[in-house]
């Protein structure tokens, strides 16, 4: 039971990281109709900037504060220089263009930082553990990630549902031509939404830095999970992104932790470990297929 509680918390932490990625991606796709494969590159940029500033200053907080606006600025430049020319093109053109951006940014990171991974230490103030229940110590840093993700979810809900800017975002997502005719600056709105998505991806990358190696190409693996989250939750829905991210995080973590043990009840250890690992890797895609059979537009589609 103690192991189960710990793995549930690990699943929530992974889910929160995925939500930070998926919320920006689902906004960009839901509002702009743009498939952005380069979203993982913005996650990578956030991690690299955070690692570099932290190494120079010794302050993880300064690294975090530098990574978010730096990625937002890069996102705004990408939107104005590349994405703006793709809105009226078909999705294949968008996929090819953004895949090219992945290759560009991966090589740029190698040129600027080299091929050796960078490593970030967990901030000293957050490096301990806290005993949530008797016999269940849990890292403070992972709890902070969960708390930050939930605060971001609350902030996004307030932004979209309770502010004038959120009203314009919803209007642009529903009918961009009418919104433009009513005086909404769609071009500026799109740049802002894309920059917001980039900032959220950078926040995820910066916070993942102390847990993972910061290296070129690190955004591709999490990008696949992020697309699964967006499809499960419903394209364009922040609420769906949160629900899908938590589901994927829990299913992936619990599957990897317990499926081999369950299979050992019916087969030998070697077979159970191999089959359990394979089934655990497939679990989130099985979940996605099941959700789409039940609700073809996702759990919480933005429209309808």
pLDDT at 75: 93
Residue 304 has pLDDT above 70, yes or no: no
From first CA to last CA, the distance across the chain in angstroms is 41
pLDDT at 101: 93
Q: How far is CA 126 from CA 46, 143, 202, 210, in A?
A: 20, 9, 20, 11
> Mean pLDDT throughout 216-243?
88
| Nearest to 230, CA basis, from 214, 215, 207, 247 | 247
Q: How far is CA 99 from CA 43, 91, 185, 196, in A?
A: 15, 12, 28, 20
What does the DSSP 8-state code read for residue 105?
H
- Burial (CB count <10 Å: 0-12, 13-18, 19+), residue 92: exposed
Please provide the DSSP assignment of 20-62 as one string.
HHHHHHHHHHHHH----TTHHHHHHHHHHHHHHHHHHHS-HHH
Cβ count within 10 A of residue 233: 30
Dihedral sign computed on CA atoms, order 201, 203, 208, 210? positive
pLDDT at 270: 81
Lowest-confidence range among 59-63, 73-77, 275-279?
275-279
Q: Give the span between the Cα atoms of 51 and 205, in whole angstroms.
A: 10
Q: Give the span between the Cα atoms of 157 and 206, in whole angstroms.
A: 22
pLDDT band at 263 (very low <50, low <70, confident <90, very high): confident
Q: Domain locations in the chain?
A: 11-216
């Amino acid at each position: 039971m103690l192991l189960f509680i710990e793995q549930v918390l690990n699943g929530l932490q992974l889910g929160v990281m995925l939500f930070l990625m998926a919320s920006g991606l689902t906004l960009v796709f839901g509002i702009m109709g743009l498939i952005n494969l380069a979203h993982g590159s913005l996650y990578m940029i956030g991690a690299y900037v955070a690692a570099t500033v932290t190494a120079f200053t010794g302050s993880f907080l300064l690294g975090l504060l530098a990574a978010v606006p730096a990625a937002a600025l890069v996102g705004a430049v990408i939107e104005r220089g590349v994405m703006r020319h793709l809105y009226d093109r078909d999705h294949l053109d968008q996929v090819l263009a953004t895949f090219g951006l992945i290759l560009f940014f991966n090589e740029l990171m190698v040129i600027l930082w080299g091929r050796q991974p960078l490593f970030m230490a967990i901030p000293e103030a957050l490096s301990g553990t806290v005993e949530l229940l008797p016999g269940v110590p849990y890292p403070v840093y992972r709890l902070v990630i969960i708390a930050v993700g939930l605060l971001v979810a609350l902030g996004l809900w307030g932004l979209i549902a309770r502010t004038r800017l959120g009203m314009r975002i919803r209007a642009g997502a529903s009918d961009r031509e009418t919104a433009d005719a009513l005086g909404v600056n769609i071009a500026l709105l799109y740049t802002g939404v894309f920059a917001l998505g980039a900032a959220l991806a950078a926040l995820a990358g910066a916070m993942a830095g102390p847990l993972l190696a910061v290296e070129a190409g690190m955004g591709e693996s999490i990008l696949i999970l992020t697309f699964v989250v967006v499809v499960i939750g419903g394209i364009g829905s922040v609420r769906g992104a949160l629900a899908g991210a938590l589901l994927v995080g829990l299913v992936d973590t619990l599957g990897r932790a317990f499926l081999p043990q369950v299979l050992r009840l019916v087969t030998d250890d070697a077979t159970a470990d191999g089959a359990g690992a394979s089934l655990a890797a497939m679990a989130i895609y099985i979940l996605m297929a099941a959700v789409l059979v039940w609700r073809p537009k996702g759990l919480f589609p933005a429209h309808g």
